[in-house]
């Protein structure tokens, strides 16, 4: 269960009571408003509010650049020009506010993106639910031997079952102790702000996360990447689908130039030029480190 009955009733009521407005409306985003998109085992992403659409981006660009944009024949061409040349401020004219429910260890990774406004559920004032992220067996993997931040081979059979049992048992035991410390049965009980420190990092938290489109795209470029950790990537992929419906022209340019594009170092450009000239270039003659060369080959080989 990702939403309580009360939360679902509130969402249903909001969707049944549309309000007239004079501001710009994105029909694609209107379909997402308040709707909870389930992520992981207990998580969710839903849009609470938004401002702007594709037209807001081009409007801002034309105010900013004036006569310099008159040669651009249409909004899509202008948006692609802005994205291609890293002109970011017009994309900042659009904003979105998400309600996100996520494991604490994912939240701590997420919050490193410091260009958003965040208000998180407070375990100082409220009691956290007995909800923990337990990975599906297909996402249990050993440590990678070549990437200190990544996963290697999948755990299988008895080893996978052993790890899952440990994760479940530890989470439940910690929550039992959390409840016990909060108990008011004839005792004062421990303050909530202290009792929470015993909970594991896979317990779920919630927050409102408001961000402009430029910084959302930066977040998605990193977190929707195939190399990102699975548990944050699935949130980013859900938000990609929402952004695609919200600002289809801008998202198309983002998908082409950022998600589907690559950035080359000066050494990488030089290697490509040498190869196009017919020269055989190896890692040893490229001037790149082994790590750089491995990444280069991953794109071009």
Active-site residue, 223 included: yes
Q: Which of 223, 258, 274, 275 is catalytic?
A: 223
Residues 57, 79 contacting (CB under 8 angstroms): yes
Q: Write a three-state SS string for the chain.
A: CCCCHHHHHHHHHHHCCCCCCCCCCCHHHHCCECCCEEECCCEEEEEEEEECCHHHHHHHHHHHHHHHHCCCCCHHHHHHHHHHCCCCHHHHHCEEEEEEEEEHHHHHHHCCCCCCEEEECCCCCCCCCCCECCCCHHHCEEECCCCCCCEEEECCHHHHHHHHHHHHHHHHHHHHHHHHHHCCCCCCCCCHHHHHHHCCCCEEEEEEEEEEHHHHHHHHHHHCCCCCCHHHHHHHHHHHHHHHHHCHHHHHHHHHHHHCCCCCCHHHHHHHHHHHCCCCCCHHHHCCCHHHHHHHHHHHC
Cβ neighbourhood burial of 184 (10 Å; 0-12, 13-18, 19+): exposed
Rounded Cα distance, 122 and 53, in Å: 33
Pair type for strands 204-212 and 151-154:
unpaired
Rounded Cα distance, 32 and 133, in Å: 25
Q: Which residues form the catalytic set?
A: 223
């Amino acid at each position: 269960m990702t939403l309580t009955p009360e939360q679902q009733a509130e969402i249903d009521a909001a969707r049944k009571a549309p309000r007239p407005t004079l501001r710009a409306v994105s029909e694609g985003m209107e379909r997402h408003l308040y709707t909870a998109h389930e992520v992981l085992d207990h998580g969710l992403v839903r849009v609470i509010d938004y401002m702007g659409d594709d037209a807001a981006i081009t409007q801002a660009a034309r105010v900013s650049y004036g006569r310099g944009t008159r040669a651009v024949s249409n909004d899509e061409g202008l948006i692609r020009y802005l994205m291609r040349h890293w002109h970011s401020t017009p994309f900042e004219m659009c904003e979105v506010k998400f309600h996100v429910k996520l494991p604490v260890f994912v939240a701590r990774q997420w919050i490193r993106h410091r260009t958003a406004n965040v208000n998180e559920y407070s375990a100082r004032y409220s009691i956290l639910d007995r909800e923990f992220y337990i990975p599906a067996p297909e996402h249990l993997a050993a440590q990678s031997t070549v990437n200190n931040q990544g996963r290697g081979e999948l755990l299988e059979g008895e080893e996978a079952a052993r790890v899952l049992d440990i994760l479940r048992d530890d989470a439940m035991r910690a929550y039992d102790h959390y409840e016990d410390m909060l108990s008011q049965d004839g005792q004062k009980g421990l303050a909530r702000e202290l009792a929470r420190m015993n909970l594991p990092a896979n317990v779920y938290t919630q927050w409102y996360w408001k961000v402009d489109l430029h910084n959302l795209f930066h977040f998605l470029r990193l977190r929707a990447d195939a190399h990102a950790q699975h548990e944050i990537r699935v949130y980013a992929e859900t938000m990609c689908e929402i952004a695609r419906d919200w600002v289809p022209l801008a998202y198309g340019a983002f998908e082409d130039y950022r998600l589907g594009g690559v950035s080359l170092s000066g050494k990488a450009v030089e290697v490509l030029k040498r190869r196009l000239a017919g020269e055989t270039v190896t890692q040893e003659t490229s001037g790149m480190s082994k790590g750089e060369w491995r990444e280069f080959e991953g794109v071009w080989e």
